[in-house]
């Protein structure tokens, strides 16, 4: 079978195989996803809402509003030594993709160094943490799904400057199902 015929045939068959699932995802609201259509969006490298979340400089590129609450994605631009202590999410999974620098990441008790191009997956209910190591700033793309955690980051960014009040931070995070371990 030639390539064009294969693509037409397999694409048509694949469409019929996947269509019922796609329709179900778009019409079901019991899983937290939006009902209906979402609009496409293109976000430039320098675009997005910039937040200082206790030293983690985040540029939010896609939020739940953009994606039907399916995913939120932001870029972390972080100085050496900055990181997030061990914590657990009860609602969302996360993916970490290093673009520049080095990130020491711990997931489920296993610690490793992520370098440029490396990816890590931290499922919900699994303890994880990360910290920028080395001497250069790190740039990392973080995705969380389903969306919603971006609201926690907006609250954390509204805290007064200076050393964070860990009790306030823990309370805000707890309101979003994130607890420190």
How many other C-beta atoms are found inside a 10 Å radius of the C-beta of residue 178? Answer: 20
When pLDDT is cut at 50, 70 and 90, the band that residue 26 belongs to is: very low
When pLDDT is cut at 50, 70 and 90, the band that residue 34 belongs to is: low
Question: Is the pLDDT score of 21 beyond 50?
Answer: no
Of all residues in the chain, what percent carry a pLDDT higher than 70? 80
Domain boundaries, the chain: 1-30, 49-180
Q: Give me the chain's average pLDDT, please.
A: 87
Which CA distances in Å does 80 have to 77, 103, 161, 163?
10, 9, 19, 17
Q: What is the pTM of this model?
A: 0.80
Structure tokens that stand for 5 in this block:
């015929």
Compute the average pLDDT of residues 166-177.
97
- Domain at 49-180: CATH code: 2.60.120.10
Coil/strand/helix, residue 68: coil
Please tell me the distance from the alpha carbon of residue 150 to that of residue 159, in angstroms, as a whole number. 15
* pLDDT at residue 161, as a whole number: 87
When pLDDT is cut at 50, 70 and 90, the band that residue 119 belongs to is: very high
């Amino acid at each position: 079978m030639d390539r064009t015929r294969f693509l037409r045939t397999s694409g048509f068959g694949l469409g019929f195989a996947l269509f019922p699932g796609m329709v179900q995802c778009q019409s079901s609201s019991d899983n937290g996803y939006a009902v209906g259509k979402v609009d496409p969006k293109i976000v430039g490298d320098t675009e997005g809402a910039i937040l200082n979340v206790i030293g983690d400089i985040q540029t939010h590129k896609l939020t739940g509003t953009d994606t039907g609450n399916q995913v939120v994605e932001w870029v972390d631009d972080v100085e050496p030594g900055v990181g997030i202590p061990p914590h657990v999410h009860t609602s969302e999974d996360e993916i970490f993709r290093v673009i520049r620098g080095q990130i020491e990441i711990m997931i489920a008790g296993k610690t490793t160094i992520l370098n440029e191009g490396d990816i890590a997956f931290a499922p919900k209910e699994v303890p994880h943490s990360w910290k920028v190591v080395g001497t250069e700033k790190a740039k990392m793309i973080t995705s969380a799904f389903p969306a919603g955690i971006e609201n926690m980051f907006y609250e954390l960014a509204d805290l007064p400057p200076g050393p964070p009040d860990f009790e306030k931070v823990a309370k805000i995070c707890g309101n979003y199902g994130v607890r420190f371990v």
